[in-house]
Amino acid sequence: MEQLGAIAPMIIFLVLIFAMMYFLMIRPQRRRQKEQQELLERIRRGEKVITSSGIYGQIESISEDTIVIKLESGATMKVAKGSVVSEQTKRLK
């Protein structure tokens, strides 16, 4: 019976650790993923964006999984759709 009394605080401690991990790590990551998905659904041709590698450009065309970005020099670059991390215009405001 005494062993059961010693295990209860350990179980409570583990539950608290998992709850902290959820609220500090998992939940914010899900929120960021949702925001990224909303951004990818919202962007349109002509908008200025920033990629995950720090490339600034204007969207020329969008396909299902790629985006063609026009750079300031006039060159175009085809990138994965998921590499767009933010809208340049919103970031500057």
The per-residue pLDDT for 8 is 82
65 and 90 assigned to the same domain: yes
Split at pLDDT 50, 70, 90, the class of 69 is: very high
Q: Is the pTM of this model over 0.85?
A: no
User: Whole domain around residue 82: which residue ranges?
Assistant: 45-93
Q: What is the mean pLDDT of residues 27-35?
A: 93
19 and 38 assigned to the same domain: yes
The per-residue pLDDT for 5 is 72
Sign of CA dihedral 41, 45, 47, 51: positive
7 and 35 assigned to the same domain: yes
Q: What percent of the chain has pLDDT over 70?
A: 90
60 and 30 assigned to the same domain: no
